[in-house]
Structure 1
């Protein structure tokens, strides 16, 4: 069965009436924003949820940050020196950096923050392997000593998604497997804890003591100039309500309008629709490797064979094929290591998948798909998967809930009868999943890795070979082998690649480009 429209927003365009008007309390210094999903987790180091990463850019800053060309540029750092033949890096902070509680940012805060990040992040874990020691030189200067050179250190610290956000030392010493709940950073906006209501709204106020860099903003780098004194995130899970709020001028900016409503928004001359990240995103299915049935590689392979990407893309992104494309590879199109479609591994055949499942030893174990009803780019993915797996003969339970609950539940390592899960779906930025160091999808870290916990010593060996390769040819060889291995063993199933159009009132200018809806540069005309 091909799902040509989102179940989540079925009929939304036809019923775009009767949404209750939101209270009009405009001040010229306030921006009202509709995020992609509810902000249920606040710690951007603890979770990889994109909405939490976006929140992180408001509250925290980073030592280095990637610009639009993905070149790491100094951000909180004034600069650095590479000493002892690459075995020692000395970093110096910019003068005048302060946290939102008024305390100065110190070298100790940076060290503790990076250490916590190296325990959670895939790229960070590669950094952690080669760290020998840290040393505080003074409040603004610290050394990182390495066991062996790590030329990609700056790229790691400032990567566009889940970078090493800097927080106070007392927060950074929180166990990496527990969430930090008090939001104190040194970024351009301060989190207003007293107005936070998960499922309703989050509020940020401009941090008066933030000193932007002098360079123009470029992705996460440069001068993060906030032009609004206050930014309100309004959680509006019903697309009809969100569209009404934007077209009536009750909201300024809607991060991700669903495909079904794009034509409607296009007819409103007061609304601008724009692709702000041309590199796009990929959709994926993630399997739990710890428990039956997906601890059996033959069962996983049967699922991979059944995936017909066009069904997924039409269900979430609509019938406009200019907005999406097939990508039967774990290296997204447009990234350095994409080397063609893996059609032999993804034949898109229900018949072949059914036969493979019969031969796999599958014994009818329940497959629990945890799936959000409030996330139009993700919810239909789970619905398509449930239909496909039933057709090939699996015992499927579609456990539909909100995205915040999915984020929490996917961290469970229990069996499904004890609250665990078998499959979840999500999307991620193509550049962020474009190298062995940054992609969660191809790493075989097991218990230390991403949800699903695929374990493969060979995958980790290939990642190290990529890091150690003396030239580009060696890097490509290792990356191509890694991408093939991860798809063969079904670490992750790719579901297609797409671009998104954000929508905002024409009164806004300076809309930032990059892989997140950054709060800087944008202002009211």
Structure 2
């Protein structure tokens, strides 16, 4: 990724929550619980309202019942997990005090912090963890992934629980703390869980630094400081550690128009706004009232392939597809500004424990239209139109689909591009017929490579991939799940990478950065792929 020659005032950090720190014992000391206190000399930081302009409006606020990222961006302030990821990409005990892994990776013994209070004044105990976990494993996307291997939960005492598995389950701690798509297990009062059961909650009581006040659909969510919050005494790091609620209130507004989000930060109406187009960087950088906040690398655009329908049920057709894609040109067409995108074949970014140098070598970014034509002949392609399904409202996706169409036509494919609104795209790609390719955004922040199995194996997600290669991939993920030794597990992860580039159930294109913006009055903001506003205050200039 090219470096900007001009000074970027943004806080730029590598936001990746990908590393699994698996040990047979991993402990931290029990913390002395006490409500948060104002640090000496810090009184001036307290007070005021932080107003945030969010790109999307959530369908509801129940994280167990949706994968919508807008929910967790809001409710991370209200609910907390047993584990949270730190800035070094490791899951750390948060509401948990310590944990120990025994019986070859089949038993996780978790001790809880004591005297942690819910917003209703009730102390959190193991009964709340039990109720929250039972709801999570039944309703949550990540819980569903864990469920087939889980045996039972045992309440050992008021501040201790044991999670028991039928066989070793290496990614458990990382999955419990995952921030991706609302996967994290958050702890709610037992009474609240029993009241709503499997229904969507419209009451919210957590342990976080802010408590829920109101939600006006399509307009705003209001949170206010929880004065009796019991913070972790560990240093703040990523989503882990100490959380201080400096602002009296946080108001998160739904503002779909990017021009309104930008103008609101410039005028001081908003202290923070999500996702401003990268082509606005020069304007933001030159404005004394605004600062760019660049999350890099944040995501990647993937070519999703319908492997169950001709011609891409043939491996040579998929290899022809890979040879037909000019990654550099695709990046320029989708993103534009070269400061905001990069080419790299590994689906985990450089600097993380799961990164592999030269992943996909010989296949990734190996643009060769002539080779693509030869492979198409070997595949027996008969000229039937390749249907690319794309959203018409997402600029990156639409521009990428248009560029992809031209590249494939140059390589000998007959291509039909179909543009729809988001619900129609989701509906069409859920079927086994009627489409061939789709460009889709993926976070580069999955908590553990095991999660990749949800869309990589036999008939996973929308790929319709079902052959000897898909079943070989299933076997790789089965071994990955059981291996608790970190180094040995990484060797299995590299097998997954190699098999992916050999068989091409999907194709990573470019990784790129999003740009948020903050008003110059907002201080202490720690960059994250999901913005949060504890440890953040307003300083009037």
Normalising by structure 2, report the TM-score. 0.76
| Cα deviation, residue 73, structure 1 | 1.7
Which residue number in structure 1 is paired with residue 356 of structure 2? 338
Deviations 1:211-250 (CA, angstroms, capped at 9, x unpaired):
3222232111112222223323333333333222221222
Change (3 A) 1:132 1:269: same
2:455–2:461 CA contact under 8 A, matched in 1: no
Superposition pairs of residues 416-435 of structure 1, within 5 angstroms: 423-429=438-444, 431-432=445-446, 435=448
| Distance across 2 between alignment mates of 1:390 and 1:517 | 40
Partner of 1:166: 187
- 2:301 maps to 283
Displacement over 6 Å in runs of 4+: 119-123, 170-176
Q: Cα offset for 1:361?
A: 3.9
Q: Which residue of 1 aligns with 2:512?
A: 498
Are residues 1:517 and 2:531 paired?
A: yes
Cα distance in 2, alignment partners of residues 209 and 362 from structure 1: 69
1:433-465 CA distance string (max 9 Å, x none): 7x522435874153xx44446452222322233
1:196 aligns with 2:217: yes
Once the two structures are superposed, the pairs formed by residues 227-238 of structure 1 within 5 Å of their partners are 227-238=246-257
Instruction: Check if 1:413 corresponds to 2:433.
Output: no
Q: Does 1:245 align with 2:245?
A: no
- Structure 1 CA distance for aligned equivalents of residues 392 and 195 of structure 2: 29
Instruction: Select which of 499, 502, 510 maps to 1:485.
Output: 499
User: Which of 419, 437, 459 is the aligned partner of 1:399?
Assistant: 419
**1:28-427, aligned counterparts within 5 Å?**
29-40=48-59, 42-82=61-101, 87-99=106-118, 105-115=124-134, 117-118=136-137, 127-150=146-169, 152-161=171-180, 162-167=183-188, 180=200, 182=202, 184-186=204-206, 187-192=208-213, 194-197=215-218, 200-275=219-294, 277-278=295-296, 280-289=298-307, 294-320=312-338, 322-335=339-352, 336-346=354-364, 347-357=366-376, 359-361=379-381, 364=384, 367-371=387-391, 373=393, 375-389=394-408, 392-402=412-422, 405=423, 409=427, 413-415=430-432, 423-427=438-442
Relative distance call for 1:90 and 1:475 in structure 2 (3 A) is closer
Alpha-carbon deviation of 1:350?
A: 3.8
Greater shift after overlay, 344-353 or 513-522?
Answer: 344-353
The Cα of 1:340 is off from its aligned counterpart by 0.1
What's the CA shift for 1:386? 4.3
In structure 2, what is the Cα distance between the partners aligned to 1:175 and 1:302?
A: 51
SS at structure 2 position matched to 1:437: helix
Give the length in aligned residue pairs: 484
Does 1:463 pair with 2:477?
yes
Report if aligned partners of 1:131, 1:147 keep a CA contact under 8 Å in 2: yes
Quick one: distance in 2 between partners of 1:378 and 1:232? 30
- The reply on whether 1:437 has 2:450 as its aligned counterpart is yes
Q: Is the 8 A contact 1:390 1:396 kept in 2?
A: no
After superposing the two structures, state which structure 1 stretch, 161-170 or 309-318, moved more: 161-170
Deviations 1:312-348 (A, max 9, x none): 322343233x432211333433333323052432322
Q: Relative to 1, partners in 2 of residues 1:81 and 1:304: Cα closer, same or farther, differing over 3 Å? A: same
How far apart are 1:488 and its partner, in Å? Answer: 2.9
Does the Cα contact within 8 Å between 2:106 and 2:166 map onto a contact in 1? yes
3-state SS, counterpart of residue 513 of structure 1: coil
> TM-score if structure 1 supplies the norm length?
0.78
Q: Which 5+ residue runs of structure 1 have no aligned equivalent? A: 1-26
> 1:265 deviation in Å?
0.6
Give CA deviations for 1:418-441 in whole Å, capped at 9, x if unaligned.
xx8852411312x427x5224358
Aligned alpha-carbon RMSD (Å) = 3.8
Q: CA deviation at 1:272?
A: 1.9
- Say whether the 8 Å CA contact 2:449–2:493 is kept in structure 1: yes
Q: Deviations over 1:388-447 (max 9, x none)?
A: 445543442433325xx379648x733566xx8852411312x427x522435874153x
Q: Residue 61 of structure 1 aligns to a residue in which SS?
A: coil
- Residue 64 of structure 1, CA deviation: 0.9
